[in-house]
Amino acid sequence: MLTRRAVFGAPALLLAQKTAPERLNVLFVASDDLNNSLGCYGHPLVKTPNIDKLARSGVRFDRAYCQFPLCGPSRTSLLSGLRPDTTTILANQIAIRDRVPDVVTLPQLFRNNGWRSVRAGKMYHMDVPAGVGTNNFDDEQSWDLAVSPKGAEQRTAGDRKTLGKGWQVISFAGDGKDQADDRATELALETIDKTAGQPWFIGLGYLRPHLPGVAPSRFFDLYPLDKIPAPYNPANDRDDIPRASEIAINTRANDMGMNETERREAIRAYYACISYMDWQLGRVLDHLDKTNQRRKTAVVFWGDHGWHLGEHHRWHKRSLFEESARAPLIVSAPGMRGNGKASKALVEFVDIYPTVAELGGLRAPDRLEGQSMTPLLHNPSRRWKKAAFTQMYTPEEKIVGRAVVTDRHRYIRWDGPYPGEELFDHATDPREFTNLSADPKHAALKARMAAILDAGWRAARPD
C-alpha cells in the first residue's frame, strides 16, 4: 500500500525525470602540432571545410595560448587543468600520475559521473612516429576504453622525399586505411553507434599534421607548389634573439638545411596533412548529424600548441614566439548564444577543463588553475583576462623561459645560463621581428610587462 508520502512524492519524481536536462556527449578532438593555418582563421590557402563549418556552429577563439609548447607538458596541463609549475611535467616521456598521482583528469571526471569515456588515438603524450600504436604515457584511470591505433607512418608506401635534415614527406594513393588517424576515426564512429543508454566522452586524437608529412596525394594536389610562398624573414631577424631562445628550439633552427624549394615543399606537406586531418574529422561530424546526435553533443577542437613554418628560420614548436605559443581552439556546444562568432579574448588551455566540465553540468575539482570560458561562449566580446602565460624549459641546459602576452604586447624572460629578454609590440610588429627590450624608449613598457609576468596568472584573471 502506498503511503501518503509515496502518493504525493511519485508525481514529483516523474516530473523531475521528465524535466531533467539531457546530458551532453563530448567529442574532444586534438590535432597534433597544429598551428592556426586554417580557413576559419583566415588562412588564404589552407582548405579546411569541416573545421570551418564547426567554427560557424560554435565559438572560435582567436587568441588561445598553450601553457607549454611541447606535446607532453601541454597535454598534461590541458587534461589536468593544472599549470606546468604545478604538474612539474616539463618534458615528454612522463606519465601524468608519475608527478600528480591523485589528479582527476577531465575525461576521468566524466567517467566518474556516468559517461562512457573512450580514447581513440593520441590524447596524452605519444612519441610520433616511433611510439604510434603504444600506450606508454597514457592514463588508465581516464578511460573505459583506450586504443592507440597502429599506423604505417614513415613506412607508408608512396612518393617519398626527405627535405633538408630530416623533414620526411610521403604522398600516397587512396584514403589511407593503414594510417592511425583513419583507424581512430573508425573507432570514434563505432563508439557513437554502439554507446546507448548513457552519454559518451570521446577523446579523439589525430596525429596529423605532426611529422612525418604523410597524407593522400589528393590532399597534396590541393596545393600546387608554385602557389606556396616561401617563408619571409628580414635579413637581420636573428640578431636580437637571445641565445637561450636559439638553444631551446633544439635541432629545428636554421631552416633545417632546406633550400627554398624544399621549404615550400615542407609547407605544402604540412597543409596537405591539415586537410587530411580535416577530412577525417568531417567524417565524424557528418556521422553525428546523420545519427541525430549533434544536437546533444559538445564538440571541442584544439591543437596542443603551435608550430613554426620557417618564421625566424624555425620548423618546430619549443619556442615562446606567437607561432609556437598560440594554437586553434573551437568550442561548439548546443544553446550557446555566441555560437557562430569569434572571440579575441585571451584564453589559456588550462581554461578548457573547467569549461567542458561546466558544459557537462559537472563540478570541477577545486584545485584547477584555469577559468571556465562559458561566459565567453554566451558573449564572445565580453572583457576577460588581462594576460596569458606560456613557459619553456630545457632539461639539458636548465634554461627557463617564461612569456606573457597581453592585448598588444609580448614579453619573454629567459633565465639560467643564458639570461635574456624579448619585448614585442603586436600593433606595429605582429610577426615579432623587432625585439624592443634593449631600447631605452621602451623601458617603462618593459617594466610594466615584467610586473605582469611576475604577478602571475591569478592577478590576470578578470575582475
Residues designated catalytic: 71, 125
Rounded Cα gap, residues 89 and 391, in angstroms: 12
CA 398 remoteness from chain centre = 26
**329-332 and 59-65 beta bridge pairing:** antiparallel
CB contact at 8 A, 249 and 316:
yes
Pair 59, 331: CB distance under 8 Å: yes
Q: Is the CB of residue 370 less than 8 Å from the CB of residue 329?
A: no
H-helix or E-strand spanning residue 294: none
Q: Are 63 and 388 in contact (CB under 8 A)?
A: yes
Looking at the DSSP bridge assignments, the partners of residue 394 are 399
- Identify which of 341, 282, 333 has the alpha carbon closest to the alpha carbon of residue 61: 341
How far apart (Å, rounded) are the C-alpha atoms in residues 349 and 177? Answer: 32
Query: Which residues touch 210 (CB under 8 Å, ≥6 apart)?
Result: 32, 33, 128, 273
Q: Which three cell numbers stand for residue 281?
A: 574529422
